[in-house]
Amino acid sequence: KEMDDYCEVFEFLRNGNASDESIQTIGEEKLKGNDNAKKQERKIEIGWFDYDYRSSEYRQVRTLNGGGVRYINAPKTWMQDDILQHGKKVFFLNGKSKRGNVTDFQFEVRNFMGGRMDNDCTIGDLYTLTGSKLLRFYIYSKKLPTTAVGCSEMESPSDDSLPDHKLLQVNKQVANLSSDPSNESPSKTSSLTPQTVQLRVQEFMKTRTQQLQKC
């Protein structure tokens, strides 16, 4: 834009149609126009908080994970929805991020204190009300219940808490061995002591464990 302005002035001078006064007037008008354009915009920051199901709280998404803080020259007329739509564009490039697709989340915009914004409040209004030199807004996202199930961030039982099916099978066989009379003759069964049964169970489990390890 500025290069086009200079070219226009140069063309005007080359045709010999300009006096010193007219050149000064043109320059002042261009600068005035640029200043007016700048007054219609204010610089803002946009960050991102995402809900963590494991800790049941919102956590800031860092730059390495596609978050961080973005600096934007925004029109003073922007409202909550304008900030939200721009935040989606910068944090969900082509509708995708490391946290998932933009359609997997529900969103809202909050101010730098974590408070919700009024729908009809503009950026210009907030600068006037707060007297702040630089306003920061945050996009708060939370995965929808239908997409959060199975998400790595949700609580799920660890592998250690799951039953070992092989061990269950061994325990079942041990129980059958100790309760089945056919494993010993009547005379021998009647003479078994608790200590003998325990030793045989331990030997059986040791043998079975070795067999499972070879599998």
Ordered DSSP codes for the chain: -HHHHHHHHHHHHHTT---HHHHHHHHHHHHHHHHHHHHTEEEEEEEEEEEETTTTEEEEPPGGGT-S-EEEEEETT--HHHHHHHHHHHHSBTTEETTEEGGGEEEEEEETTSPBPPTT--HHHHHHHH--SSEEEEEEEEE-HHHHTT-TTS----GGGS--HHHHHHHHHHHHHHH-GGGS-HHHHHH--HHHHHHHHHHHHHHHHHHHHH-
Confidence label for 68 from pLDDT (cuts 50, 70 and 90): very high
d(C-alpha 212, C-alpha 14), whole Å? 94
Residues 21 and 71 in one domain: no
Residues 29 and 44 in one domain: no
Q: Kindly state the percentage of the chain with pLDDT values over 70.
A: 53
Residue 136 pLDDT: 96
Residues 111 and 181 in one domain: no
Average pLDDT, the chain: 75
Residues 203 and 111 in one domain: no
d(C-alpha 161, C-alpha 45), whole Å? 44
Q: Domain containing 65 — which CATH number?
A: 3.10.20.90
77 versus 210: the higher-pLDDT residue is 77
In a domain, 20, yes or no: yes
Q: Could you tell me the two tokens for 126? A: 């907030």
d(C-alpha 147, C-alpha 103), whole Å? 9
In a domain, 195, yes or no: yes
Residue 98 pLDDT: 94
In a domain, 178, yes or no: yes
Residue 155 pLDDT: 38
208 versus 89: the higher-pLDDT residue is 89
In a domain, 154, yes or no: no
184 versus 14: the higher-pLDDT residue is 14
Of residues 72, 61, 135, 147, the one with CA closest to residue 103: 147
In a domain, 69, yes or no: yes
Residues 45 and 24 in one domain: no
Q: Could you tell me the two tokens for 214? A: 């070879």
213 versus 82: the higher-pLDDT residue is 82
Q: Kindly state the percentage of the chain with pLDDT values over 90.
A: 44
Helix 2-14 vs helix 20-39: crossing angle, to nearest 10: 170
Does the pTM of the predicted model rise above 0.75? Answer: no
Residues 67 and 131 in one domain: yes
Residues 56 and 87 in one domain: yes
Residues 18 and 77 in one domain: no
- Asked if residue 48 has pLDDT above 80, the reply is yes
Residue 108 pLDDT: 96
In a domain, 48, yes or no: yes
Residue 26 pLDDT: 57
Residues 24 and 45 in one domain: no
Range of the domain at 130: 40-148
Residues 46 and 127 in one domain: yes
Confidence label for 96 from pLDDT (cuts 50, 70 and 90): very high
Q: How many domains does the chain have?
A: 3
**Dihedral sign (CA 14, 15, 21, 23):** negative
Residue 20 pLDDT: 59
In a domain, 153, yes or no: no
Give mean pLDDT, residues 127-151. 86
Of 148, 174, 193, the residue at which a domain comes to its end is: 148
